[in-house]
Structure 1
Amino acid sequence: MTTPNDASRPLRVVLAGGGTAGHISPMLAIARALGRQDPSTVCTMVGTDSGMETRLVPQAGYELDFVERVPMPRRPSMDVVRFPGRFQASVRQAGEILRRRGADVLVGVGGYVSTPMYLAASRAGVPVVVHEANARPGLANRVGALRAARVGTALPDTRLPKAQWVGMPMRPEISGLDRAAARDAARAELGLDPERTTVVVTGGSSGALNVNRTVRESLDDLLGAGLQVFHLTGRGKELTDEAGQRVTRPGYVQREYLDGMEKAYAAADLIVARSGAGTVCEIAAVGLPAVFVPLPVGNGEQALNARPVVDAGGALLVRDETFRADWVRRELIPLATDPQRLAAMGEAAARLGVRDADVRTADLVREAAREGARR
């Protein structure tokens, strides 16, 4: 394995993660920050051949290597017998990638590929930097953090060895957003009234069935209160009426998907959203008041992700099964029509927001590489 002892030699960084945008977005943001700090830095990425990274990483201009996806079996089957051999093969793949790329440091953001990459890096003496997005760390990053040179977390209360709170690396279009300055242009682009208080509702790219249903049931109340609603329904989940026609109302705009969430953040006075780690951190960074409706399945990590912002007064938290039309009338509409309360919540959220997380994480990467070179 090469080491960056020669100051003229570019730093070579391998970043591992993928599967979902929650892994890929911070990985790309870290790589871009490293490139801004020193354009000679060489960043390559590792994922699986079936995740979103196969499209997003090449689009962003980075080379992508693949490691076989080997999930740990969760019930007795022949997969239990095959798992050790398949996993060791993936570790060998990972080691070959590190050798071929001449890695000076490995950055892992979690997901299936990170575990074999962490183990291969440990065997090869390549320093590891872990970035954990969620309040409750995944298995891969719990393993990686045990021997990592540096560990950064997106949220302040995440418990990992050596953890430093650095925030969530995000696109500069979001981290640098001035909501007030961008508001009029964003509302015009999204087909909204520039002067009307705006509630943005999103269930993420796949949508949220109950959230969408509640919006349909609450439209009369929301619009009657003088609000306008920009609703991202998720692909294939547009709101239709009894006749099967797309719902259109003055003051209500729906889209299945928006390329560039910074436009929605700029347009919004209040947002209703799931509380994935990326969403929570972006909303806090731009100082946007929020109602978080955590995903009702899984291990409860979305509620944990939202908790710091909620406890600081920057957001409300409501269970998915509680987010109904009566809750909208009782809680959401009074909040959305109270500008002083919205302003206070936005300020509280912004105090927890981290806008330079990409730079902070890039600094951890360079520190780890320097220490690795001295060993």
Structure 2
Amino acid sequence: MVESVLLAGGGTAGHVNPLLAVADELRLRDPGTAITVLGTAEGLEAELVPAHGYELVPVPRVPLPRRPTPDWFRLPGRLRDAVDAADAAIEASEAQVVVGFGGYVATPAYLAARRRRVPVVVHEQNARPGLANRLGARWAAAVAVTFPGTPLRGAQVTGLPLRPDILALAVARAEDAAGERRRAAAELGLDADLPTLLVTGGSLGAQSLNAAVAGAATDLLRAGVQVLHLTGKGKAEPVRAAVAQAARGGLIAQAGRYQAREYLTRMQLALAVADLVVARAGAGTVSELAALGIPAVYVPLPIGNGEQRLNARPVVDAGGGLLVADADMTPERVRDEVLPLLTDPDRLDAMADAAASVGVVDAAARVADLVEEAAR
């Protein structure tokens, strides 16, 4: 039993969503558990944590410069203030365990916990760990990781704790996948009987994915494929123009099968109807698709430290997805590789089974187990 726990993480959905999933699991096990969340006043957590019913204690945002800049000279003072704020939160909440999910607030939480000799549990979402979790893992009581091979000391593979709506979809699909598909298709105005491609570059969209798939709109429509294309905010018009051009080429009756939307609030509906997904390879995307057993064409973000390619590797190696470099994602690639896959149900079924074989549905429970062990 855990009487009080402090969870630290924020800045992006990739940090906040797993945090909330673990908080929900701990509260489900014992409604009396006191749960406090450390976060920033500016990040996504400032909205999501209170909306989820948990107390948010803000701490100063402390970016860790990766190379010498003027911020280096301000870092000691900023970090000291953030550690003091985290220390005060640990004292006020009487936390038995500090659980960190990375991001700007995790470092002060780990340092404050070490000062107070409170055990730490670390969860790392990406195959290539961030600076904060590399620090916290040095003295953590337990280290949970999403992907095998993540280079952290003592790492245990738990998978990524899933958002409640994705977890609910996984359960519903296990019970009646066809029925769930029909219900989702009806809400989206799609045909549940057509092979369906979902395209998503995340909340901001991905210009290269948009151009590649929209450029193959004529071929997709001629092949009888249905497309739900989530373009990202402000990026829908070029895709709609490409579909309109396809319609003028003699596909007016079929053009309605290609939906271009900027975003979709209830993403679980899109996942319920998708036969194949074209997407980036963020940890959340890869983990959710694998947990749901949905095959994908992963196109890793071409900037950063290469973590997205590593995130997708276990699913791709198992046969549950394809990996395509961003520079290689062209309309020709969609025509030559994505389209034949969409029209081959046997291969799609095999890929779906392979994706599910490495997917994890109960990651939140696995991390909660580690928290309880640390508390004991």
> So what's the TM-score if we normalise by structure 2?
0.93
Amino acid corresponding to residue 17 of structure 2 in structure 1: S
| Larger deviation, residues 297-306 vs 251-260 | 251-260
Q: How does 1:1-375 map to 2 (within 5 A)?
A: 11-176=3-168, 177=170, 178=173, 179-240=177-238, 249-370=255-376
Shift of 1:39: 1.1
How many residue pairs end up in the alignment?
362
Give unmatched runs, 5+ long, in structure 1.
Answer: 1-6, 371-375
For residues 310 and 243 of structure 1, do their structure 2 counterparts lie closer, same or farther at Cα, with a shift above 3 Å needed? closer
Give the superposed CA RMSD: 1.8
CA offsets, 1:196-252, max 9 Å, x none? 110000000000011111122111011111100001111121134797998992201
Structure 2 distance, partners of 1:38, 1:51, is: 28
Give unmatched runs, 5+ long, in structure 2.
Answer: 248-254
For residues 77 and 169 of structure 1, do their structure 2 counterparts lie closer, same or farther at Cα, with a shift above 3 Å needed? closer
Paired residues of 2:36 and 2:56 also in contact (CA < 8 A): yes
Identity of aligned residues (%): 56
Structure 1 distance, partners of 2:39, 2:10, is: 5
Structure 1 distance, partners of 2:284, 2:181, is: 22
Structure 1 distance, partners of 2:241, 2:360, is: 46
Shift of 1:50: 1.1
Paired residues of 1:152 and 1:361 also in contact (CA < 8 A): yes
Amino acid corresponding to residue 121 of structure 1 in structure 2: A
Structure 2 distance, partners of 1:214, 1:101, is: 51
Give the structure with the larger helix fraction.
Answer: 2
Structure 2 distance, partners of 1:90, 1:360, is: 29
Paired residues of 1:239 and 1:246 also in contact (CA < 8 A): no
CA offsets, 1:315-346, max 9 Å, x none? 00001111101101110001111000000000
Q: Which runs of 4+ in 1 moved over 2 A?
A: 72-79, 239-249
Structure 2 distance, partners of 1:219, 1:244, is: 7
Amino acid corresponding to residue 308 of structure 1 in structure 2: P
| 3-state SS of paired residue (2:327) | coil
Amino acid corresponding to residue 301 of structure 2 in structure 1: L
| 3-state SS of paired residue (2:79) | helix
